[in-house]
Amino acid sequence: PYETDGVVIRVDSLLDFDSLGSTSHHPRGAIAYKYAAEQATTALLAVEIQVGKTGQLTPVAHLAPVRLAGTTDSRASLHNFQEVARKDIRVGDSVIVEKAGEIIPYVVQVVAETRTGDEQPVVPPISCPACESAVRQSDDEVAIYCSNAECPEILRGVLRHFASRRALDIEGLGHKLIDQLVLADLVQGIPDL
């Protein structure tokens, strides 16, 4: 009657369990099995390019809402543009999605046989969607970055991280307030806080 991602099978007798001993990693009297991740098919409606705190440009899929592993999801990571090209993902495709680690939705593959010919390719940007600066890519990386160190979206990302629970945990300094501060040009960096 509840969601679970796997099962542990264990020897019932404590005496037998102890007599089986263990390896350097796990007891021999128990083994864990993960169920295959739940998958669903949905439509890829659009691709948004997200600018991260390092300036990395990440494609994000906007999906027709789909129920998956206990939640309704309408966004999924596409990781990077090289992965989009490898999977031949296009806007308008029917795609199979699942959750990595039962948490983060991502596109597993395209259902190519449902293509109508109206699907649009996802093209890597030549400029940052936030500040329109040129993008850069080093030869040893697949990631594409905004070249503008003063990009407002990079600043927002840095401030969000700085104020987050995993960093300084600044109560009340959330996404909306950070957006207002940056938009009003009251904050140009962490020292301004």
pLDDT tens digits, one per residue of 48-83: 999 999 999 999 999 999 998 788 999 998 999 999
pLDDT at 1 > cutoff 80: no
Where b means 16+ CB within 10 Å and e means fewer, 160-191 reads: bebbeeeeeeeeebeeeebeebbeeeebeeee
Confidence of residue 139 (pLDDT cuts 50, 70, 90): confident
- pLDDT score recorded for residue 6: 85
Q: What pTM did the predictor assign?
A: 0.77
Q: Strand 94-100 to strand 104-110: parallel, antiparallel, or no bridges (unpaired)?
A: antiparallel
Query: Long-range CB contacts (< 8 A, 24+ apart) of 80-84?
Result: 80/142, 80/143, 80/144, 81/122, 81/124, 81/142, 81/144, 82/142, 83/142, 84/47, 84/59, 84/122
- pLDDT score recorded for residue 3: 72
Confidence of residue 4 (pLDDT cuts 50, 70, 90): confident
3-state secondary structure of 146: strand
